[in-house]
Structure 1
Amino acid sequence: MELYLPIAELPMNVFMLLGMGAAVGFLSGMFGVGGGFLLTPLLIFSGIPPAVAVATVSSQIVASSASGTLAYIRKKTIDVKLGGFLLVSGMIGSGIGVWVFGLLRAVGQLDLVIALSYVTFLSTVGALMLTEALRAIAAQRAGKPLPVGRPAARGWMQRLPLRVRFPRSKLAISAIPVVVLGVAIGFLGALLGIGGGFIMVPALIYILKVPTSIVIGTTLMQTLGTMAFATIMQASTNQTVDAVLGLCLMVGGVIGAQFGAQVGQRLRGETLRALLGLLVLSVGVRFAVDLVVMPKELYSITHSSGAGL
């Protein structure tokens, strides 16, 4: 049963779309990540234009983070003030990302930049995660588990100006690193179609020293607002959000996440990190292979517009 995607301008099997959404939802539920950095490459590998894949995954991330945000609001484990700083700065970063997205698309370099970014980003993150997890597993088997430590006190941040108090997180830190983090995550989210939770969470814990109980809910709040803004901007500015594709992915993702959460609870933390690192590294390698392997069609026809053309 094929379904025509109006923005992607191609027919796709509806069960394959539901399956992709379910697969990424399963992985998201098992590993506790948003899944945007996995879903975007999967759509690209399936033939969806990169511009449409990035923009549409943003809408899927909005749906998946909305329910989580509501749950953490009920638990009162969100630092609204900190989340507000991250949200506003994230929207600025998203605006810049959408502008760069449109600029790269206009000059015909968007696909290459997305592929190179994913190769660098996923390969680095995947290799680091896999190495850390394997070291932890080896140390545990040898009877010498690695100590779980945090970096030294944030001395350099204590000297920065514009200090702000965040009572809910019991912090008094400069607003500068908070804003920089929000802008960076917003930019990456708009340009690459990732929620950024797997970057935001460790950054809040290990750099800003936000209590772990507050981190996840605050991150979800920032992700929800930032990606909603990015989706609106992509739809109005670049017209690359495919609502039909997004709906199929949302339905499949909700179903898959329920099963993934059940499996994830049965695995050890080190095993989960190793599997996730291997998965992320594999996607990065796949992008690298696609960049160097000769395509089946050496030439493609594109439409250009302009005065006198």
Structure 2
Amino acid sequence: MNIYLPIAEMSVNILVLFGMGAGVGFLSGMFGVGGGFLMTPLLIFYNIPPAVAVATEANQIVASSFSGALAHFRRGTVDIKLGVVLLIGGIAGSVIGVAIFSELRKAGQLDLIISILYVVFLGSIGTLMCIESINAIRKSRRSPEEVAPLPEQKNWITNLPFKVRFEKSQLYLSVIPILVLGMLVGILASIMGVGGGFIMVPAMIYLLRVPTNVVIGTSLFQIMFVTAFTTIAQSATNQTVDVVLAFILMVGGVIGAQFGARAGTKLKGEQLRALLGLIVLAVCARLGWDLVNMPTELFSLDLGGH
């Protein structure tokens, strides 16, 4: 059952796309991640042009992050003030990212840069997740007396100027690292088609010392607006958002997430992180192979993105 994608300018099997959306949605529900860092490479593997895959996946993340942010808002686990500061940095980063995206596309280097960024980020994150989860599994097998609590540590971030009090998170913190973190996520959303939660959540917990109970909701709040802005900017600047593709992926993702959430309750946290780390490394290995593998056709016709 084929369908024509107007922006990608190609005919694809709607069942395959629906299955991809459902599969990544299942993983999203199981692991509590947005899934953009998995979906964009999968779309590229399916021969969707990288420029379209990146911009369209940002559109899909808007829907998933809105649903999650709304649920957290109802539970009172969103720090609006902190989220707004992150959002300011995210919008600035998104503007920068879209400009970089446009220039790389004009230079004909966009596909290569996207693949390299994914290999670097997925390889680093997957390795760290596997190491951390293996250490956690080892610690869980020890007796409670052998596991000493980590001491509260202060870092250089606490000494930065322009401090603001965030009542919900019970923090008195400089806005500088918050703006920088938001900007980084905005750039990644524009160039890689990811929400950036896989970077933002650990950074908020370990660097900014934001309480865990408000981290995910606040992250989703920021990601929702940044990816929405990114989608509009990409559509206006580069015309690379395929609404038909985004809709199919959204429907599959929503259905898959329901089953993934149920499956996630049957595994321990460290087991989930180890499994996700292995999946991330597998995607990284495939992208890395595509970078070094000799293509069957050494020459192709460049039509200038048309």
TM-score bracket for this pair, using the shorter chain length: over 0.9
In the TM superposition, residue 71 of structure 1 has moved relative to its aligned partner by: 1.4
Per-residue deviation, residues 50-85 of structure 1 (Å, max 9, x unmatched): 000000000000010111111122122211111000
* Paired position in structure 2 for 1:24: 24
**Letter matched to residue 149 of structure 1:** L
* Paired position in structure 2 for 1:66: 66
**Letter matched to residue 11 of structure 1:** S
The within-5 A match list for 1:160-179 is 160-179=160-179
**Letter matched to residue 54 of structure 1:** V
* Paired position in structure 2 for 1:135: 135
Q: Which TM-score applies when normalising by structure 2? A: 0.96
> Is the 1:151–1:206 Cα contact (8 Å) retained in structure 2?
no
Per-residue deviation, residues 160-183 of structure 1 (Å, max 9, x unmatched): 111111111111111100000000
**Letter matched to residue 264 of structure 1:** G
Q: Which TM-score applies when normalising by structure 1? A: 0.95
**Letter matched to residue 235 of structure 2:** A
The within-5 A match list for 1:293-308 is 293-304=293-304
User: What CA distance in whole angstroms lies between the structure 1 residues aligned with 2:276 and 2:89?
Assistant: 29
The within-5 A match list for 1:83-122 is 83-122=83-122
Root-mean-square deviation (CA), in Å? 1.5
More displaced, 197-206 or 175-184?
197-206
In the TM superposition, residue 141 of structure 1 has moved relative to its aligned partner by: 3.6
Task: Report SS of the residue matched to 2:105.
Answer: helix
Q: Percent identity at matched positions?
A: 57
> Is the 2:157–2:207 Cα contact (8 Å) retained in structure 1?
no
Task: Report SS of the residue matched to 1:184.
Answer: helix
* Paired position in structure 2 for 1:251: 251
User: What CA distance in whole angstroms lies between the structure 1 residues aligned with 2:149 and 2:116?
Assistant: 33
Cα 1:146–1:253 shift into 2, 3 Å: farther
**Letter matched to residue 247 of structure 1:** F
Cα 1:147–1:100 shift into 2, 3 Å: farther
Aligned residue pairs, count? 304
Per-residue deviation, residues 224-268 of structure 1 (Å, max 9, x unmatched): 000000000000000000000000000000000000000001101
Cα 1:56–1:136 shift into 2, 3 Å: same
User: What CA distance in whole angstroms lies between the structure 1 residues aligned with 2:298 and 2:27?
Assistant: 35
**Letter matched to residue 220 of structure 1:** L
**Letter matched to residue 95 of structure 1:** V
The within-5 A match list for 1:145-294 is 149=150, 152-154=153-155, 156-294=156-294
> Is the 1:21–1:250 Cα contact (8 Å) retained in structure 2?
yes
Per-residue deviation, residues 207-239 of structure 1 (Å, max 9, x unmatched): 111111111111110000000000000000000
* Paired position in structure 2 for 1:15: 15
> Is the 1:101–1:191 Cα contact (8 Å) retained in structure 2?
yes
User: What CA distance in whole angstroms lies between the structure 1 residues aligned with 2:122 and 2:147?
Assistant: 25
User: What CA distance in whole angstroms lies between the structure 2 residues aligned with 1:117 and 1:197?
Assistant: 16
Cα 1:148–1:55 shift into 2, 3 Å: farther
* Paired position in structure 2 for 1:81: 81
> Is the 1:8–1:48 Cα contact (8 Å) retained in structure 2?
yes
> Is the 1:188–1:194 Cα contact (8 Å) retained in structure 2?
yes
Gaps of 5+ in 1: none
> Is the 1:171–1:210 Cα contact (8 Å) retained in structure 2?
yes
